[in-house]
Amino acid sequence: MAAPRWSASGPWIRGNGQGFGSLFTLVSKPFCSAAAASTAINAQRLAEKLRAQKREQDTKKEPVSTNAVQRRVQEIVRFTRQLQRVHPNVLAKALTRGILHQDKNLVVINKPYGLPVHGGPGVQLCITDVLPILAKMLHGHKADPLHLCHRLDKETTGVMVLAWDKDMAHQVQELFRTRQVVKKYWAITVHVPMPSAGVVDIPIVEKEAQGQQQHHKMTLSPSYRMDDGKMVKVRRNRNAQVAVTQYQVLSSTLSSALVELQPITGIKHQLRVHLSFGLACPILGDHKYSDWNRLAPQKLSVGTLKKLGLEQSKARYIPLHLHARQLILPALGSGKEELNLVCKLPRFFVHSLRRLRLEMPNEDQNENNEAKCLGAQ
């Protein structure tokens, strides 16, 4: 049997298999010792590297502001980032604390700000990912995953309906598709819609916006335009979709308003586009649709910034103030009564209302005094 050949990386064994046990005994100790030493060195280097990265992150942390409002803005930013890093079990548990309604057919949750419904580029965690975990928390380990009945934008908070089985999910989806569901949203707007109540009936189409950074946005595609003081009919864009929004101002000041919105149709970003481009009243915190040509933080007046206690440089952190306030579903299955689902406002929304001196309808004031219990940020 040939003697073992050694190399810089450790022992290399050759032979016909006989006497392998005794030879392994001879070389195993130095081999294990070398491997253990190498592992210890690598672990030490990794630990040092992680500590260095932690120190570097700590030095880059944004200083804590002495202004209460700016601290609240920083909290919302941190909360949104944390949602993408938490374990799915933690997120599912948080969603159970915000359940608005539960029966044998449906589970209705309060969707928090900054949480996407579906996955996509850059999305680490979304509601779809935690539906199986949420079902098990509510109905035990043998429960089938819950199913989405509709969607909300990442930045929108409020009522979201889930179904226990596919058939019920399809039934609810059909109600949405055929416009049998009453949907009411609340939004804080920059400027005040005129008139104070009405209907915006302007088609919407997606277009590429030309600017320093090319991007796509939804925009209006009106049937008429003004030309030298005359109304001229415009050739219809074949990609334009019918979009109808009913609105009503609930409270207002000279520079802002609390508006109730009832979308009759369900086009992508419909409420944001109709408010910003149709009524010239963008939603507070809508950094995408406040300006057509630019992707930049929303520009706010000095008066509004002063009320919010913010500087313009911090405006980019203001969250979108759009809340899915209420859904009214027709009777489902063997039920005989419609289902009226109402969701309280998140804390940041209530705080902005107070700072902007906007009043809520009387029936909602008592409810939102306890908004901290929602678990929505």
CB burial class (10 A; 0-12, 13-18, 19+) of residue 57?
exposed
**What pLDDT is stored for residue 28 in this prediction?**
45
Residue 47 included in any domain = no
Locus of tokens 């046990």: 21
Q: What pLDDT was estimated at residue 263?
A: 97
User: Annotated active-site positions, please?
Assistant: 153
Residue 196: predicted pLDDT:
96
What are the distances in angstroms from CA 216 to CA 223, 276, 322, 350?
21, 16, 21, 32
For residue 154, being part of any structural domain is answered with yes
Q: Does a structural domain hold residue 17?
A: no
- Report yes or no on 27 lying in a domain: no
Question: What per-residue confidence (pLDDT) applies to 159?
Answer: 98
Q: What is the pLDDT of residue 286?
A: 96
pLDDT of residue 354: 96
pLDDT of residue 62: 53
Could you tell me how far CA 348 lies from the centroid of its own chain? Answer: 14
Q: Answer yes or no: is 14 within a domain.
A: no
For the stretch 172-194, pLDDT in tens is 999 999 999 999 999 999 999 99
Half-sphere exposure (CA, 13 Å, Cβ side) for 63?
3
Task: Indicate whether 86 belongs to any domain.
Answer: yes
pLDDT of the residue at 172: 96
What tens digit of pLDDT does each residue of 109-149 get? 999 998 999 887 877 888 999 999 999 999 999 899 999 99
The reported pLDDT for the residue numbered 337 is 87
Nearest-angstrom CA–CA distance, 157 and 137: 22
Residue 40 lies in a domain: no
Within 13 Å and on the Cβ side, how many CA atoms surround 321? 28
The CATH number for 230's domain is 3.30.2350.10
Q: Is residue 41 part of a domain?
A: no
pLDDT of amino acid 59: 52
State which residues form the domain around 248: 68-359
Give how many domains the chain has, as a whole number: 1
- For 253-278, what is each residue's pLDDT tens digit? 999 999 999 999 999 999 999 999 99
Query: Do β-strands 157-163 and 322-329 pair in parallel, antiparallel, or remain unpaired?
Result: parallel
Query: Would you say 216 and 269 are in contact if contact means Cβ atoms under 8 Å apart?
Result: no
- HEC states along the chain? CCCCEEECCEEECCCCCCCHHHHHHHHHHHHHHHHHHHHHHHHHHHHHHHHHHHHHHHHHCCCCCCCHHHHHHHHHHHHHHHHCCCCHHHHHHHHHCCEEEECCCEEEEEECCCCCCCCCCCCCCCHHHHHHHHHHHHHCCCCCCCEECCCCCCCCEEEEEEECCHHHHHHHHHHHHCCCCEEEEEEEEECCCCCCEEEEECCEEEEEECCCCCEEEEEECCCEEEECCEEEECCCCCCCECCEEEEEEEEECCCEEEEEEEECCCCCCHHHHHHHHHCCCCECCCCCCCCCCCCCCCCCCHHHHHHHCCCHHHHHHCCCCEEEEEEEECCCCCCCCCEEEECCCCHHHHHHHHHCCCCCCHHHHHHHCCHHHHCCC
Tens of pLDDT along the chain (377 residues) come to: 454 444 444 444 344 444 434 433 444 444 445 555 555 666 777 777 777 766 666 555 555 556 666 676 666 666 666 655 678 898 899 999 999 999 999 999 999 998 999 887 877 888 999 999 999 999 999 899 999 999 999 999 999 999 999 999 999 999 999 999 999 999 999 999 999 999 999 999 999 877 667 778 999 999 888 888 888 888 888 899 999 999 999 999 999 999 999 999 999 999 999 999 999 999 999 999 998 878 889 999 999 999 999 999 999 999 999 999 999 999 887 777 899 999 999 999 999 999 999 998 875 554 554 444 434 44
